[in-house]
Amino acid sequence: MDKLNISRMQRRSVFIRIAMFCSIIVLLTILIFGLSVQRHLRQTFYKDELFKAEVVGKATSRVISKHLTLKDYAKVVDFCLEEISSSENLSFIVVKPNEGKALIHYAGGWKEGEVDSEWDRLSQGGEWYKVVPNPYNNGRCLLYSSPVSYISIPLGTVYVGYNLNQYEQNVQSFTSIIVILGLISLGIGIVLSLVFSRQITRPIKTIRGALQKISSGDLTVKIDVESNDEFAELAHTVNQMTGQLKDSRDQLQASMEQKQALREKEVLLKEIHHRVKNNMQVLSSMIRMQARRSDNEESLKFFKESETRIRSMSLIHEKLYQSEELSTIAMRPYLESLVRELRLVYSNNNTVKFKISADESGLIMDSALPVGLIVNELVSNSLKYAFPDRYGGLITVAFNSINDREYKLSVSDNGIGTSESGLKKKGSSLGLKLVKTLSNQLGGKVVMRNRDGFCFEVVFSEMAYKERV
């Protein structure tokens, strides 16, 4: 990962995001609270100033009403100047009789003059107040208007200007206090959010470090989180997952070792079968060489029979080392190869046809070897004796499974057959003695028929034979 990606990941870390989120929440809370309090205090201060202006305005209207009736303006001036001097925030008092000029009183003295036409217009509706620019001082003032009357006779209007400088100073002071408290609260919030974030991110970093080790292949890592919350549950789940992964890896490794051992054994077994097959081929070649040196017809016959028997056993080992499955031999290709070999050996009878009928059943080697020798003897017998005229004929070899445990082997021809006495005589021959011995070795039931040729059948159970072994 390059430095750019690392810096981005650091900026976007959970720690920083939680701290920023908490800080924003604290800041918004302080801002909303400060604005709400400031608004409330503004209204409170404003009402307080308005109350003071209203008290002064009504008191002035009540006192000067009699003086205005008598047109004693000197007493009006004295009273207004005294009120201004005795009140801290009272900026001016304007007395506007219905007739004549207005008497304007302020801190520096008084004078006659005209009032703002806007004031006259507003005062026609009776009592009113409004914040306006102070015409006799800098800043703003709260202007309060109160009508003056004597015995229900309207005499004029009193305008009281209350200075708002103190009000604004109070608001400004409180705003400063709010800002200071807000900054202090924000600082405390940031510190608390950092502490809180660290409490959250510490177990996250611990779990992340453990997961990085696990991803690199170290399944012995155990996560220890000193808490009793969701992080502890997550750590426990990760520990369980790591344990299961370790068990699965150990099982897989053991399985791979077993498969490797099996592959080595298979290679060894194939090599053994290959060597056995080669040795039998050497033995077969030696017999063939010995037969070439003999002129005796009986000896040649014996040598040929021995060669075919050795070849039938050699084929078993050849099929095994060529097969992917070393435990069983597929009988159909084995029987086809065996019959093909016998046809080459007895090539003087090439007009005989063969029919191989076999399903996809397979036998273990200890069962397939006797079956192959039986087929070798019976097919050789048929090729030698069933067709004396050397023309035509059919030899059928069938092998099928009756059920999951039993198998049936049948070898038949449509040759000349033999009589019952001839069958008994044949039974005393070496070939048929060998066939019967091999059938007994399989634990099979033998049936021989002599109708429309010769037929041999044996039914055996491979499982029963396995149990004997």
- Dihedral-angle region of residue 447 (phi above 0 means left; psi in -120 to 50 means alpha; beta otherwise): beta
304/298 Cα distance (integer angstroms): 10
Q: Name the one residue in this structure whose structure tokens are 């990606």.
A: 5
Kindly indicate the confidence band of residue 464, based on its pLDDT and cuts at 50, 70 and 90: very low
Q: What are 98's two structure tokens?
A: 């219905």
- Does residue 334 contact residue 316 with C-beta atoms inside 8 Å? yes
Q: Set out the domains of the chain in order of their start, with CATH numbers.
A: 14-171 (3.30.450.20), 346-469 (3.30.565.10)
pTM of the model as a whole: 0.45
Q: How far is CA 33 from CA 27, 179, 183, 185, 189, in A?
A: 10, 11, 13, 12, 15
Q: What are 288's two structure tokens?
A: 């063939």
Cβ-count burial of 104 within 10 angstroms (0-12 exposed, 13-18 middle, 19+ buried)?
buried
Beta bridge pairs of residue 329: 363
- Dihedral-angle region of residue 466 (phi above 0 means left; psi in -120 to 50 means alpha; beta otherwise): alpha
Length of the chain: 469
- What's the chain's average pLDDT? 77
Per-residue pLDDT at 325: 66
Q: How far is CA 201 from CA 5, 19, 280, in A?
A: 20, 11, 76
Kindly indicate the confidence band of residue 181, based on its pLDDT and cuts at 50, 70 and 90: confident
Please list, in sequence order, all residues whose beta carbon lies within 8 angstroms of the beta carbon of residue 137, skipping any fewer than 6 positions away: 91, 92, 106, 163
Which secondary-structure segment (H or E) carries 394? strand 394-401
Q: What integer is the mean pLDDT of 426-440?
A: 76
424/438 Cα distance (integer angstroms): 18
- Does residue 207 contact residue 223 with C-beta atoms inside 8 Å? yes
209/221 Cα distance (integer angstroms): 10
Order of strands, sheet of 406-413, starting from the edge strand that comes earlier in the sequence: 353-358, 394-401, 406-413, 454-461, 445-450
- 1-55 tens-digit pLDDT: 444 344 444 444 555 666 677 777 777 777 787 777 767 777 776 787 778 888 8
DSSP state of 444: P
- Does residue 175 contact residue 111 with C-beta atoms inside 8 Å? no
Q: How far is CA 453 from CA 351, 383, 387, 395, 456, in A?
A: 17, 13, 10, 10, 10
Per-residue pLDDT at 79: 87
- 259-313 tens-digit pLDDT: 877 766 666 666 666 666 667 667 777 777 777 777 777 777 777 677 776 777 7
293/356 Cα distance (integer angstroms): 36
Per-residue pLDDT at 7: 41
